[in-house]
Amino acid sequence: MKTIKYFSLVFISITFMMGCATVKVVSDTKSDANFSNYKSYKVVHYVNEEDQKTQTHRVNPINRGRIESAIASNAELRGMKKADSNPDVVILWATDVDVEKSYSSHTTYSGGAYMGYRGRYYMGGGPAYTTTDVNEYHIGKLTIAIVEKKSEELLWLANGTKDISADAKKPEETINLIVGKIMEEFPIGTVPEK
């Protein structure tokens, strides 16, 4: 009986931890791309012209290094070599943070029945109070793309999203988790078994 309780507790704990670490990944690959031809890469932070003008693309330099390091280590695990000049592919990355809100309302009623003149009951009207709670969630989005250097053609694109509201104290762990989940979909090479 103790064994069943122990395994139940372990299962619930693992399920809870997995739920907290959920990264949603969506990827798309060009159908006729031959990824066996690509052996070298260069990692580049992509910023579009509009973001450059409004300065909304700023990424903390420490986090920028963490993201690029995580991408590079995942690419090298798959047999690719870093090449700053003339790489086969450029691995572009970009970030975004969306703020999502959830609302919950609670109503409390006051008043009710009371005894009035000659022992008769009357319904009393009372005020009702409604309280609305607003919770904000910061959804981090990391986009990674593979572009062939020669043709500048997009070969692969992936987006990873995660609620990062509670992860502000562990940025390196969060970045490695998100990059790792995205790179599981990476079409070049395979990660060797340990």
Domain count, the chain: 1
Q: Which two tokens stand for residue 68?
A: 């690029």
Q: Residue 118: inside a domain, yes or no?
A: no
Q: Which residue in 158, 162, 163, 157 sits closest to 178, CA to CA?
A: 162
Q: Residue 43: inside a domain, yes or no?
A: yes
Q: Residue 110: inside a domain, yes or no?
A: no
Residues 6+ apart with CB under 8 A from 88: 37, 38, 39, 40, 41, 148, 149
Q: What is the CATH number of the domain that holds 67?
A: 3.30.160.670
Residue where the block lists tokens 């975004």: 96
Range of the domain at 77: 23-101+137-183
Look up residue 150 and give its DSSP letter. Answer: T
Q: Residue 60: inside a domain, yes or no?
A: yes
Question: Distance between CA 98 and CA 116 in Å, rounded?
Answer: 57
Give the pLDDT score at 135: 86
Look up residue 36 and give its DSSP letter. Answer: G
If one counts every other C-beta atom within 10 angstroms of the C-beta of residue 134, the result is 8
Q: Which two tokens stand for residue 147?
A: 């572009």
If one counts every other C-beta atom within 10 angstroms of the C-beta of residue 194, the result is 3
- Give per-residue pLDDT as tens, 29-75: 998 888 888 999 999 998 877 766 666 667 788 989 999 999 999 99
Question: Distance between CA 178 and CA 133 in Å, rounded?
Answer: 30
Q: Residue 125: inside a domain, yes or no?
A: no
Mean predicted confidence (pLDDT) in 133-147: 89
Question: Distance between CA 20 and CA 162 in Å, rounded?
Answer: 9
Residues 6+ apart with CB under 8 A from 190: 78
- Give per-residue pLDDT as tens, 70-100: 999 999 998 999 998 999 999 999 988 888 8
Q: Residue 1: inside a domain, yes or no?
A: no
Higher-pLDDT residue of 130, 66: 66
Q: Residue 124: inside a domain, yes or no?
A: no
Q: Which two tokens stand for residue 63?
A: 């986090």
Q: Residue 33: inside a domain, yes or no?
A: yes
3-state secondary structure of 68: helix
Percent of the chain with pLDDT over 70: 72
3-state secondary structure of 127: coil
Read out DSSP for 123-167?
EPP--EEEEEEEEEEEEEEEEEEEEETTT--EEEEEEEEEE-GGG
Residues 6+ apart with CB under 8 A from 157: 27, 28, 143, 144, 145, 146
Q: What is the pTM of this model?
A: 0.71
Backbone phi, psi, residue 100, to 5°: -110, 150
